[in-house]
Structure 1
Amino acid sequence: MISYAVALFFLIITPGIGVLTTAGIGSSFGAGPGIRFLIGLNIGTNAAAILVVSGIAAIVLADPIVGPVLLYGSLLYLSYLAFRIGWAGARIAFVERRSAPGVLGGIGLQLINPKSYAVNTTLFSGFHFMPGDPVLEVVVKFAILNTLWVPVHLIWLWAGISLKRLDLSPATQSVINKLMALALMIVVVLAGWPRQQIG
């Protein structure tokens, strides 16, 4: 159980699509929108885990047509989120400041987040500590997942909000937002790259 918790901690604290988007929304839009997005992100995380545990994710992603469509669709959506974060504080005439993705945006992000499925597959298919009761083991794993997931993501959100509270100049805030968007795009490219190579 301890090895599972340690692995989970390091898998979710490393910069991935979820935490980078959370920090970016906190920096670009503030606490309220960030919390709403985080609620959706948590719902989406648990939904993705359920899809992995039930085997539905493996069946859908293995389909030669549906799998690639979902992959490239998710990469396009993630690129769109990066754009919204990158230009949220920019004073550019042809880019309108838009509202942050809400609860539904958070749910959608985790349901198409490649890292979410990879992490959940690793965590739920390994680290067995209750071989005599696999159902209880899954329940305990979900409890540990949420116990660690919530504070880690709140820390990332706080980091983003802290940048916003510094009352930086519009130009500086714009640069920060664009750097966060760039970091998110790097993660998106890395998420898609291995599968592109296979194809």
Structure 2
Amino acid sequence: MKKGLIGCLVVGLLLLVVGGGLAYWFVVRPMWASASNGLSAVQDMAKIAEVSAQVKNKSPYTAPADGTLTAAQVTMFVNVQTQLQAKMAGEYAGFEAKGKALEAKAKAEGREPTATEGMALITEMSALVAKGQQIKVDGLNAAGVSEAEYDWVREQVYAAFPYASMDAIPDQLKGEVNMANVELVRPHKELIAKSMGNAMIGM
């Protein structure tokens, strides 16, 4: 494995979650070295799909032409992210610490992390994603929101976030963003900053 193990694992996992074509390199190939971990990872990927199917509202979502969020949509998104942050932040930190410890150990021994070691981390990360997906789905069902709407809301929130983080937005930039969205997002900028990593894994 190359350096930057954690980044590679997260990107690889993301590709798997969204059906990317690198499954052979990130799962099947390492499975030869660690069949038990590989099977667990595949089972967790299947669980993620099963959990996603539990979303009750499966309606397509037609976004407003002007791209403006409602206060209710932002509240829904914030509620989901609050639950994810409360229940998963510690586990993500623990995973990152394990990855750094593994890299440090391998470096001290003058080698790269092995496929087996990497597979163990992928297995752990896939389990975390499955757990986070359940939290997200529970939040969507509580709000009666579809994944299609949630995905759109998340996109608008993160588009507005950089501007919401500014103390003052230069006039020349105001035409580049939906200012109504910026004002809705602004009160939640600290939470959004902490939870941006969730977007990397579809949360």
TM over 0.5: no
Please indicate the TM-score interval, normalised by the length of the shorter structure: 0.3 to 0.5
Higher RCO, Cα 8 Å, sep 6+: 1
Q: By percentage of residues, which structure has more helix? A: 1
TM-score by length of 2: 0.32
Larger Rg: 2
